[in-house]
Structure 1
C-alpha cells in the first residue's frame, strides 16, 4: 500500500434470503446489497482532510467542472455548487489526482463545497477564492 496517500477499497456485501416456501407458492424475495467505502490512511499521514480541503482547485470548461486534489487525502463531497446550482454528480476526488463532473448547462459563479469528515458528518462550507 502507498505510504504517502490514502487508499480506497469498496466492500460489497450481498444478502440473498433462503427460500423456505413450498415450490408452488407465490413469494417475493428481495436481495440486499450493501456497498461500503473503506479508506485506509497510513500512519505516516498527519492531519485530516478538513484541514486541507481549501487546497482543492476547481476549473470550469463549458458544462464540465474539474477539481484537482494536491493533497494525500480522499475528498468525499457532500455538496458541490456552482453559483448556487447543485452539481449532483460530484462524489469524490482521489489524492493527488483530479475528477471531472457534469454541470447543469453552462452555469457560472463561485464554486462552493462541503466534504464528509472522518466521522461521517458534514464539514463547513468552502468557497474557491478567485
Structure 2
C-alpha cells in the first residue's frame, strides 16, 4: 500500500512539473534593458514559444509592489498567439527618478496560460523579471568605464579578513565569478552581485592573513548581457582598481 501511494505521489509531482514546464512559453529578447533618459521610452519583444496565452506586464522599483516606479508598460495586458511575438514599450513619466546617477527598476512579464482541458492538472503563471537601468541625460562618465572605477581592498573585522568593494561611480556594476588567488589558495567570496553607485559592500574571507597580497579577477556584465573580464593586484590595505583582461585573438 505504501509503495502504491509513493508511486502515485511521484507521478503527481511529475505531472505537476510537466504542467509547469508547459506553461513557461515566453522568452524575452533581452536579459536587461538600458533606458536612455534622453528618450521617452524603450522597448522589448516577448515571444510566445508555446500555445496561445495572455501576458501581464508592469514595472516595480523594489520588487514588492506594482506601480511603485514612475514608469508604465504598454500594453499592460496582451494576448499572444502561438509562435508569435508582442512588442512591449516601457514609458517614463518624465519625473521621479534621480538625475545625478543611474537607477534600477524591474520589468515583470507574467504569462497567463489558457485553462487546461485535462483534469487534475496543475498550472502555474510563470513570471520573468529583468532589470531596467535608467540613465538620466548628462552624466559625466560612460557606463563601460564603471567596472574600472571600482575600488577593491582587503580589510579586517573581528579577526577575519574582508574583501571590501566600493563603487564611487555613477553606474551600477553587475559582477560574477569573483575570485581571489593568493599563493596556492583560491577563494570565491561571492558568486554574483550588483553594486550601486556610492555603495560599499564587504565579504568575509576564510581567515587567511595572506589575502591582502593576492590577485583578484571578476567578470562584469555589460549592456548587451555579455561578460567582460577584469583583473587587479591587491597590495596590502591599499584600495586598487582593476584593468580589463584582453581577450585572446582567434
Whose strand fraction is larger, Structure 1's or Structure 2's? 2
CA pair 57-121 structure 1, distance change in 2 beyond 3 A: same
8 A Cα contact 1:77 1:90, kept in partner: yes
Q: What RMSD in Å do the two structures reach over aligned CA positions? A: 2.4
Provide the residue aligned with 2:150 in structure 1. 56
Whose helix fraction is larger, Structure 1's or Structure 2's? 2
Q: Which has the higher contact order (CA 8 A, sep 6+)?
A: 1
Q: Are 1:71 and 2:169 counterparts? A: yes
CA pair 80-49 structure 1, distance change in 2 beyond 3 A: farther
8 A Cα contact 1:56 1:67, kept in partner: yes
Task: Output aligned runs, 1:51-130, within 5 Å.
Answer: 51-60=145-154, 61=156, 62=160, 64-83=162-181, 84-103=186-205, 105-106=206-207, 108=211, 109-130=214-235
Rg larger for: 2
Q: Which secondary structure state, in structure 1, belongs to the residue aligned with residue 137 of structure 2?
A: coil
CA pair 111-121 structure 1, distance change in 2 beyond 3 A: same
Unaligned runs of 5+ in 2: 1-96, 236-250
The CA deviation at 1:129 is: 4.5
The CA deviation at 1:110 is: 2.8
Equivalent residues, number: 127
CA shift digits 1:50-84 (9 cap, x unpaired): 32422212234426433110000101103211224
Unaligned runs of 5+ in 1: none
CA pair 17-106 structure 1, distance change in 2 beyond 3 A: farther
The CA deviation at 1:43 is: 1.4
The CA deviation at 1:4 is: 1.6
CA shift digits 1:100-126 (9 cap, x unpaired): 3455x3353332222111111111322
Provide the residue aligned with 2:77 in structure 1. none
The CA deviation at 1:33 is: 1.6
8 A Cα contact 1:57 1:128, kept in partner: no
Q: Are 1:39 and 2:133 counterparts? A: yes
Looking at structure 2, the residues matched to 120 and 93 of structure 1 have their Cα atoms a distance apart, in angstroms, of 16
